[in-house]
Homo-oligomer: A and B are copies of this chain.
Amino acid sequence: MADICLLGTGGMMPLKDRFLTSLYAEYNGKAVLIDCGEGTQVAIAKHGLKLSRIELILITHCHADHVAGLPGLLLSIGNSSRTQPLYIAAPESCLKTVESLMSVCGALPYEVKTVGFPDDISYTFRADMVDPMLSVRTMPLSHRVSCLGYSLMLKKKPPFLPNNARAIGVPVELWKKLHNGETVVLEDGTRVPPEAVTGDRRPSMKITYTTDTLPLDDIFIFAENADLFVCEGMYGLPEKKESMNEKMHMLMQDACRIAKEANAKRLWLTHYSPAEKDPSVYAEELRKIFPDAVVTEDGAKITL
């Protein structure tokens, strides 16, 4: 299970009534944060979430609206008496900027471990500091600087079949081990593999986050069947298309078309231009392209 909160929905600069785009995803009490612009630590407090639960921070790219809140957030985590290491992962080429920003942090009471993901090829990273069943997939996007999309993939255990376990004679105290994927040996020497007492594998829970990119065709493969697809949509006005191509962003309509192709379960639009004062005016039109499109507001939450 994952508790998700979209901390902010803005792009470019924080506004007095709109935080910058950032996603907080919590798995059994440990959290991943994607992006950390100026004010993200305030949004976390405002939406009733816990800085202290963050184990992994994923940075999409090194533009200030996605990364400038990092030093303040790291210091505030330090004030919450953390001592265990914290992981920050970002495109390889972005780590230097992350380190420059951290120069203002001085000595933190915990270790920051940085992980550089390849800028130009997809990569899969086991996020067991958050959950042993969680992995992170990356996809190189197309923006003015190296930028990665992220999919958080949480493996779901196959269903446990108690009738099978009883029929084989597995004592109840061994059921958990089997459900966790371990083989057990009974007192009479019988080896019972987990497949004997579990049903068909279930697809992973998938949250895909892509922002600051042209609407590449490949994104629909990356976001395929996502339970939640969080995607930028700077403007809802089709006449902004040319300007978006120049700035290497996309329209809300582009995001909806990708979500439809991807067969995503739901789309959360975000990263609105400061010039879009009320993005909700496009909601009805966008749902004609993709019925499960949501023009989110700061603090949107869902449990998956």
> Which A residues are within 8 Å of any B CB, using their own CB?
12-16, 37-39, 41-42, 45-46, 62-65, 67-69, 71-72, 75-76, 79, 96-97, 100-101, 103-106
| A interface SS class | helix
**What is the distance, in angstroms, from A262's C-beta to the closest C-beta of chain B?**
31
**What is the distance, in angstroms, from A39's C-beta to the closest C-beta of chain B?**
5
Rounded to whole angstroms, the CA-CA distance of A19 and B52 in the bound complex is 21
Tell whether A67 pairs with B12 under 8 Å between CB atoms, given A38-B39, A41-B38.
no
Residues of B near A103 (CB, < 8 A) are 96-97, 100-101
Residue in B46, B76, B104 whose CB lies within 8 Å of A97: B104
Q: Is the CB of B39 within 8 A of A42?
A: yes
Q: Is the CB of A105 within 8 A of B72?
A: no
Q: Is the CB of B14 within 8 A of A41?
A: yes
Rounded to whole angstroms, the CA-CA distance of A295 and B68 in the bound complex is 31
Q: Is the CB of B79 within 8 A of A13?
A: yes
Q: Is the CB of A68 within 8 A of B104?
A: yes
CB-defined A-B contacts under 8 Å, sample of 27:
A12-B79, A13-B72, A13-B79, A14-B42, A14-B72, A15-B42, A15-B45, A16-B45, A16-B46, A38-B38, A38-B41, A38-B42, A38-B69, A38-B72, A39-B39, A63-B106, A64-B72, A64-B75, A64-B105, A65-B72, A67-B104, A68-B69, A68-B71, A68-B72, A96-B103, A97-B103, A100-B103
Residues of B near A45 (CB, < 8 A) are 15-16
